[in-house]
Amino acid sequence: MPVYQPPFTITSEILTAVANISEMLGRYSAGQATELTPQLRRGNRVRTIQASLAIEHNTLTVEQVTALLDGKRVLGSPKEIQEVQNAFAAYDTLADLVPSRVEDLLQTHKLLMFGLTEQAGSWRSGGVGIYREDQLVHMPPPASQVPRLVGELLAWLETNDVHPLISSCIFHYEFEFIHPFSDGNGRLGRFWQTLILSRWRSALAYLPVETLIKEQQNDYYSALRESDKACDATPFIAFMLRTLEQALTEALASEPLAGKHNTQANDQVTDQVTDQVTDQVKKLLTVLFSASEQALGSKELMERLQLKHRPSFRKSYLGPALESELIMMSYPERPNSPKQTYRLSHKGMAYIKL
pLDDT of residue 44: 86
Of 254, 276, 291, the position where a domain reaches its end is 254
* CA distances from residue 151 to 117, 118, 141 in whole angstroms, order as listed: 23, 23, 14
Confidence of residue 229 (pLDDT cuts 50, 70, 90): very high
In a domain? residue 161: yes
Measured distance CA(192)–CA(273) in Å, rounded: 46
Decide: 293 and 344 in contact? Cβ < 8 Å.
yes
If asked whether residues 234 and 313 sit together in one domain, one would say no
Decide: 253 and 28 in contact? Cβ < 8 Å.
no
In a domain? residue 1: no
Based on the structure, what is the number of domains in the chain? 2
Mean pLDDT of the chain, nearest integer: 86
In a domain? residue 312: yes
If asked whether residues 135 and 283 sit together in one domain, one would say no
Give the rounded distance of the alpha carbon of 334 from its chain centre.
Answer: 20
In a domain? residue 334: yes
pLDDT of residue 86: 96
Average pLDDT over residues 165-173: 97
Helix (H, G, I), strand (E, B) or coil at 121: coil
Measured distance CA(149)–CA(325) in Å, rounded: 52
What is the span of the domain harbouring residue 62?
Answer: 12-254
CB burial string 232-259: b at 16+ within 10 A, e below: bbbbbbbbbbbbbbebbbbbbebbbbbe
If asked whether residues 175 and 225 sit together in one domain, one would say yes
If asked whether residues 223 and 284 sit together in one domain, one would say no
Tell me which H or E stretch contains 215.
Answer: helix 209-215
If asked whether residues 276 and 231 sit together in one domain, one would say no
- Higher pLDDT: 107 or 333? It is 107
Residue 192 has pLDDT above 50, yes or no: yes
Average pLDDT over residues 201-230: 91
pTM above 0.85, yes or no: no
What's the DSSP call for residue 317?
I
In a domain? residue 238: yes
In a domain? residue 55: yes
Alpha carbons within 13 A on the beta-carbon side of 85: 15
Confidence of residue 267 (pLDDT cuts 50, 70, 90): very low
User: Cβ neighbours of residue 99 under 8 Å, at least 6 residues apart?
Assistant: 154, 157, 158, 171, 192, 195, 196, 199
* CA distances from residue 150 to 153, 162, 205, 230 in whole angstroms, order as listed: 5, 18, 23, 21
**343 strand-pairing partners:** 328
Decide: 197 and 206 in contact? Cβ < 8 Å.
no
If asked whether residues 151 and 231 sit together in one domain, one would say yes
pLDDT of residue 279: 85
Measured distance CA(159)–CA(55) in Å, rounded: 31
If asked whether residues 114 and 205 sit together in one domain, one would say yes
Decide: 262 and 350 in contact? Cβ < 8 Å.
no
Residue 260 has pLDDT above 50, yes or no: no
> Residues 336, 342, 348, 354: is their CA dihedral positive or negative?
positive
If asked whether residues 176 and 291 sit together in one domain, one would say no
Measured distance CA(313)–CA(306) in Å, rounded: 10
> Residues 289, 290, 292, 294: is their CA dihedral positive or negative?
negative
Measured distance CA(54)–CA(325) in Å, rounded: 32
Average pLDDT over residues 2-26: 90
In a domain? residue 5: no
If asked whether residues 181 and 216 sit together in one domain, one would say yes
The CATH number linked to 289 is: 1.10.10
Q: How many helices (H) and strands (E) does the chain have?
A: 19, 4
The CATH number linked to 73 is: 1.10.3290.10
If asked whether residues 205 and 239 sit together in one domain, one would say yes
If asked whether residues 147 and 281 sit together in one domain, one would say no
Of 254, 275, 308, the position where a domain reaches its end is 254
Measured distance CA(280)–CA(317) in Å, rounded: 5
Average pLDDT over residues 133-162: 89
Decide: 313 and 283 in contact? Cβ < 8 Å.
no
Confidence of residue 124 (pLDDT cuts 50, 70, 90): very high
In a domain? residue 223: yes
Closest CA to 312 of 325, 297, 302: 302
Least confident piece of the model among 54-58, 141-145, 153-157, 269-273: 269-273
If asked whether residues 244 and 341 sit together in one domain, one would say no
Of 254, 279, 308, the position where a domain reaches its end is 254
Confidence of residue 6 (pLDDT cuts 50, 70, 90): very high
